[in-house]
Chains A and B, each alone.
Chain A
Amino acid sequence: MGFSKDQLLNRLQELEIDYTKYEHPPVLTVEAQAKYVSSSEGALSKNLFFKDKKHRYYIVSAMVDTKVDMKVLSQRLGLGKGGIRMAPEEALTQLLQVSLECVTPFAVVNESARDVSLLLDQNFKNQKRCIFHPLSNEVSVSLNTSGLDKFLKSIERDPVYVDLEANPAVGKDQPPDLAVYVPSNSVVIPEISNETSTKQTPPPKSVSAEVKPVASAKPSKPATKGKSVVVEKSTPLAFKNPEKFVEEIMDKTSALLLSEAKVENVEALAETLRKRLTSELTHLAIMYKNTAYTEGFHAGKHSQPKRL
């Protein structure tokens, strides 16, 4: 189970971090919180929980009046313009183990949140103290950023402070400045994600309805025809699954065969097929080989030594 508020506060005490605790009725918003904890005690924070299209998660903790532009943030992370959105509630409860109204930097203390990236507002550093929920919305604590840093370092996290209002240009020559804070691992939340974890395992007897469009939706066109190309969205299973691999080859070959059917001489037809398809099919085969090797490599890395 997740860390409880008391466990967290005990940890802060063990680390000799100076904080002040305020108990109050459960609050759902910053405005409500402000009624019980006055700004003289410290700067209130707004805490946002985002996810990107590749199932990677981010906590952004900012001063209440810092403007957080999701489009800009998304670009600075190297995710394009619409790359991040608010994370769904299930993610919150599963990864951060807190309820909707108390997203907080402290949530990264949970093992389940180890792949969540935490970005803190640079402006916090100018404040004497800042206010966060200690994993419960019935309590607020105010502490100095050095206390927060000490806590983060104790759980082997590097505190990351970012100028959230900055809007640097992101282009081909100016790499996104926050891209380095994108988590290296994506997280699967059951019921939400429809197919992909980082290690993709195709079901051996795959649901053809789902997979067929991948293999055959793209009409293999010989170079002379001007058909439009269908863009593939999912990772081609043709590179992993022998049946799909063969299906892809048959699709390409028969498409070419049908389009060249007007050629009367069978030998010439065979020659054309060979000429047109060899390079493409070889490429397909190489990707298949590389995929198989990679799976073997993974197995080798993770195999356990023989028990004696």
Chain B
Amino acid sequence: MVSLPHRMRKLQTRLLAIRLGSGAYILPKDINRIHMRFAPRIEGGHMGPRKFWHHELVRLKYHNPAISMTTDRTARAEDPAVLSVHFTSPTPTQSPDETTSGPAFADSTPAAAQPTERVSTIDMKHRTNAEILDELVRMTKAQAVEATEAEREELRSLEEQRVKGAKDSAKSLEVRARVAREKQLLEQARGELAADAV
């Protein structure tokens, strides 16, 4: 990042994109875990799950950081793509898992702090991420997150600055190109002068 205002503008755009947008929902307290299983490549109808992971799941995670959200991308193209939501009864006090200092193994099965009572699944294959989100919201009765006035104002001003910046950038490119061309002509003239004088 070159300058502080530029850096802050890019950062705020990114953070607002994480907070707001498609997938910004607060899930009810009785959800324990969300797990997605789909293929690493999109052939076979796995594009919807992948987009969901990159866009909607990010916002869901931001607004529900206590819910463990994992993915398993080891399915084959012909296997089903499944999103499973693990429900449990909400308890007033949750004892968090204490840490271990030993080596951590990468796996897709987290240690659940509470026993899972029921599991609901959504079939994601050949569906767009918007459809998957709709079904998830219907199933869990999630609450949408609305942008506050301050956030709307910020979004507006960032968009304005972006458009203005693009226009100014195009114009300044034009100006710079013209100055460079004139400089080139001057150099050429000076070069001829030196050649003539010799």
Q: A and B: real partners?
A: no
A interface residues (Cβ-Cβ under 8 A, vs B): none
Interface residues of B (CB under 8 A from A): none
